[in-house]
Amino acid sequence: MNKKRGKQSVVFSNPPVITSTANIVGPMEGQGLLDQYFDYTMLDNLNNLDSWEQCESFMMEWAIKEAVNKENSTIDMIDCILAGDLLNQLMSTHFALKKLERPFLGVYGACSTMVESMLLGAMLVDGGFANKVASATSSHHDAAERQYRFPNELGAQRPPSAQWTVTGAGATVLSVFGHGPRITSATIGKIVDYGLKDPNSMGPAMAPAAVDTLWTHFQDTGRVPAYYDMIFTGDLGNVGKQLVIQLMQQKGLDISSNYQDCGCMIYREEQDAHAGASGCASSAIVFCGYIYNMLMNCKLKKVLLLGTGSLHSTTSYQQKESIPCIAHAVAVEM
């Protein structure tokens, strides 16, 4: 049976089960709104390691191991790991995966990496190419800041539209059998670029990509927004979230009552994160903690998770190019 639906979507015939998830965060996230949904909170952003990059690798390794431990299997039972992060050449991922010694495919989708790796993992499992797949991602505030912006100790003022890169990592284990919510369908996004250039305001740049994928998902699957208990986007922040609601309204769909952005759920107002959270770990720590918990406790039954990524680099920004963006979606149902 062909699993493709419409233009960009797939509906799985043997929906893979998310048998476990794990997340780890830095101290600032630990003091945020979702503090009770984190498996481990580090005391500082270095965690007694030599560099921020090493710390990020540690977080990813820890998250994958913890997710595997939680469902009482061993790392040897994982047929393939799909993972990625924000740093150049997936530095943190590669050093984390070096120690795990499992088959590995690197994934880069900027902040959409969590959903992209879950989507691909689900395809591997449903296609019969693997029994258990782990998908993971990480980001680190200081490591990202030094690569994309300025040194951390520089006394620069951030504009109110800027978002705060999350320090953390999340991992999921997808299995053929087991107890847990299933990934029932997915929509692969295409690159959308509305010509925005300001890397200090990525939520607005990514919002059209999120809307494009959302719209396509509904078209392809024949579903309506009300089908889902909640729709989550990855890291659009306060401004991007409003834009998504407005743009969807223009298309005649009202999602204002069951839509939230992971980037708006992590930090408290007084933590001075400005427009919200961003980074690969934004959607990862929220999905692998809060959302998974809600699904397991049946407080949410049908969830659509959109990973949103802005695919610019420091080079493209300095050469005055606009920000190409992408969004992928997975539907997770209990």
Partner 1 sequence: MDKMKKQQKQQIEQEQYQKKVDSLTPKPPLLKNICWAFVVGGLICIFGQFLINYFIGLGLDKKQAATWATAVLVFLGAFFTGIGVYDELGKRAGAGSVVPITGFANSIVAPAMEFKREGYVFGVGAKMFVIAGPVLVYGMVTAFIVGLIYWIRH
Taking contact as CB under 8 A, which single stretch among the options 90-98, 158-166, 169-177, 262-270 is the one that binds partner 1? 158-166
Q: Which of 7, 98, 160, 321 binds partner 1 (CB under 8 A)?
A: 160
State the CB neighbour count (10 A cutoff) for residue 258. 18
Query: Of 127 and 159, which CB lies nearer to partner 1 in the complex structure?
Result: 159
Q: Which of 13, 48, 51, 314 binds partner 1 (CB under 8 A)?
A: 51
Taking contact as CB under 8 A, which single stretch among the options 24-32, 156-164, 169-177, 326-334 is the one that binds partner 1? 156-164
Sites for partner 1 among residues 255-284 (CB under 8 A): 275
Structure tokens that stand for 193 in this block: 């670029």
| 48 near partner 1, judged by CB under 8 A | no
Structure tokens that stand for 125 in this block: 């499992």
Torsion sign across C-alpha atoms 189, 167, 320, 236: positive
Instruction: List, in order, residues 6 or more apart from 302 with CB less than 8 Å away.
Output: 227, 228, 229, 331, 332, 333, 334
| 194 near partner 1, judged by CB under 8 A | yes
Query: Of 69 and 242, which CB lies nearer to partner 1 in the complex structure?
Result: 242
Taking contact as CB under 8 A, which single stretch among the options 171-179, 193-201, 228-236, 255-263 is the one that binds partner 1? 193-201
CA dihedral 272, 277, 278, 280 (to 10 degrees): 130
Question: What are the helix and strand counts (H, E) for the chain?
Answer: 10, 15
Binding mask 223-252 for partner 1 (x = CB under 8 A): ---------------xx--xx--x------
| 319 near partner 1, judged by CB under 8 A | no
Min CB(208)–partner 1 separation in Å:
7
Q: Which of 157, 257, 297, 318 binds partner 1 (CB under 8 A)?
A: 157
Nearest to 190, CA basis, from 306, 83, 328: 328
Q: How far is CA 330 from the centre of its chain?
A: 11
Query: Of 78 and 311, which CB lies nearer to partner 1 in the complex structure?
Result: 311
How far apart are the C-alpha atoms of 233 and 262, rounded to whole Å? 6
Nearest to 284, CA basis, from 17, 122, 64, 13: 64
Min CB(175)–partner 1 separation in Å:
39
Min CB(324)–partner 1 separation in Å:
13
Q: Are 4 and 10 in contact (CB under 8 A)?
A: yes
Structure tokens that stand for 141 in this block: 């505030």
| 26 near partner 1, judged by CB under 8 A | no
| 298 near partner 1, judged by CB under 8 A | no
| Lookup result for tokens 């834009």 | 243
User: 3-class SS at 107?
Assistant: coil
Min CB(305)–partner 1 separation in Å:
24
Write out the residues near partner 1 by the rule CB under 8 A.
50-51, 146, 150-161, 194-196, 201, 204, 208, 238-239, 242-243, 246, 275
